[in-house]
Every structure is written in structure tokens, then in C-alpha cells.
Amino acid sequence: MRVFGEIEGIAVGTEFASRAELAASGIHKPIQTGISGSESNGADSIVISGGYADDEDYGDYIVYMGQGGNDPVTKLQIADQELTRGNLALVVSYIRGLPVRVTRGLRSRHRTYRYDGLYLVERWWAEISRSGHKIFRYALRQINEKAVSTPSGELPLPTGSQEPDRVKSYTTRVVRDTAVAEMVKKIHTYQCQVCTELIQRPGGAYAEGAHIRPLGRPHNGPDTADNILCLCPNCHVLFSGWAFSIEDDGSFIGGMSGTLVEHEEHAVSRDHIAYHRRCYQRVIT
């Protein structure tokens, strides 16, 4: 079974003497390939080893190149890369927000490997390599900034060698999904239960899991399928921002017309709907 996230018992910073040892730990199972993953479930780990000249390593931010199309001996790009296998798996991780374990090959005399923690695929794109072939690239950012990692090499990065000139920004919205939410989204094949919109992009569809009765204090809504809706980002923003709510018969009230799309494999709790409706009514009256 493919494990996303931390591997129990393996701390960030753990070193391995070989790819075989790294594979045995469960951190990165393939012995040869840099990307571990599947097209349907996403990528769970990568190794950045300096084998590709186009990788860029800024410590907490990595620009990683996709796989394929290069000569195994010279490492030169001799053909286009394709959006399949590991390359597609990293796009799936991007779409679903799955954490990717990053291991660095260290430039010591006898090459060793160090597990450097979890990263998120922040963006992906395609470009033309110096040799004129199409390659895929992925920008990954470290999830937990407390665990500062350094690029391949024995010494920590000097201050100032991190990604330069990062623009000052506010976080306006963070979308978090749980394993149960992912299941609900699959049942609805990522189609919005409110407006029926399907956000289809290269690599796959996108939707968000919206907890009807919010998680966390003081609402303490449960992380169960009957408390989750599969929504497009727009309807999610409207639903969590009290622009509309839902009657027990599924019809919308407030600034939205229509009726909730329901699926026989996914029962939506009327108690949780009523909780949302009460909050909504108090906000607007």
C-alpha cells in the first residue's frame, strides 16, 4: 500500500547508505526511478539527486524535473517527456494536495541519501529543455517550515541562499481536505453538488470537500461522509461564507437557486444541514 506523508519511525534528517536501504525504509520504494507514484493515486515520494541538470534546489523550495526522455548514460535529454506514469502522478499530487516525501542524494565521496521531509506540489508546467525537448517541471514547497532542510551537500545553506526575492503575500484562503473528503469527491466524480460544475484540467478534475458543520471548536462537526459536500471552489466559498444554505428537501435558500445533487452512495445528514442553516439564518437576519 502506498503511504502518503510521514513513515512511522523515520525522522526527517535520517540518512541512508544506499538506494536499497532507502527503499527498505519505505521512504522511497523504487530503486531506480526518482518519482514513486501511480497515475491514479498520485506520487508519494521523490529523490532529488542531481542526475538532472534542470533541477533547482533552494532548500525549502525545489524546482524538480519530470522523468523520461533522457539518455541513461549521458543524462542528456534526447526525447520529449510524456504526461504519464511518474509525471502524471505528480500532477495528481498537485490536484489533490498530497504530501510528497523528498529525499536528497548527498554529494559525498560515497553517495548517501537523506530524507528531508514533506513537500507540496505548488505548481507544474511544461517547457522546452536546452536540448529542444519538452520536459515537465514541478515547484515543490516544504510543508513544515520548522524542519529546515538544506540542498544536496554536507553544509547547510548560508542565509540568503534560499529562494530569493520572495514577494510578500497574504494567505487569503487555505483549502484542507481529509481522506473522507477525498472519498466523497470520488463518489461525485468531482462534480459540484450545488451548481453541477466540473472543474476539468489536464491531469484530472478538481473539487473541494466542504464540511457542512465545521470541524474544530466550537462546532465540532465530525469528519464523516454525511457531513461533507463535494463542491467547486466557487460554491465552497459561498457555502462557507454564508451566501446561501440548504433546506431539508435539498433546495437552496439565499443567493443560490436549485437543489442539492445527491448520490445514493453518499447520504447527507439533515442534522448537519440544519446546523449550517441555523448559522446562516443568524448571520443574515
Interface positions with a copy of itself (CB under 8 A): 4, 56, 58, 61, 63, 83, 95-99, 120, 122-123, 125-128, 134, 137, 139, 143, 145-146, 163-164, 166-179, 197, 199-203, 206, 208, 214-218, 223, 232-234, 236-238, 240-243, 255, 279, 282-285
Closest approach of a copy of itself to the CB of residue 114, in Å:
22
Residue 13 vs 24, nearer CB to a copy of itself:
13
Please, which residues bridge with residue 63 across strands?
A: 56, 139
What's the closest the beta carbon of residue 166 comes to a copy of itself, in angstroms? Answer: 7
- For a copy of itself, the closer of residues 187 and 205 by Cβ is 205
What secondary structure letter does DSSP report for 258? S
Cα-based torsion angle of the residue sequence 247, 251, 254, 257 in order, rounded to the nearest 10 degrees: 170
Q: What minimum distance in Å lies between the beta carbon of 167 and a copy of itself? A: 4
Q: Compute the least distance from the CB of residue 232 to a copy of itself, in Å.
A: 6
Rounded (5°) CA angle 258-187-274: 45
Nearest alpha-carbon partner for 121 in 150, 86, 146: 86
Q: Which is nearer to a copy of itself, 46 or 140 (by Cβ)?
A: 140
Distance between CA 236 and CA 241 in Å, rounded?
8
Q: Which residue's CB is nearer to a copy of itself, number 116 or number 177?
A: 177
Cis before residue 202, ω within 30 degrees of 0? no
Q: Which amino acid is at 159?
A: T
Q: What is the DSSP letter of 1?
A: -
Q: How far is the CB of 18 from a copy of itself (least distance, A)?
A: 31
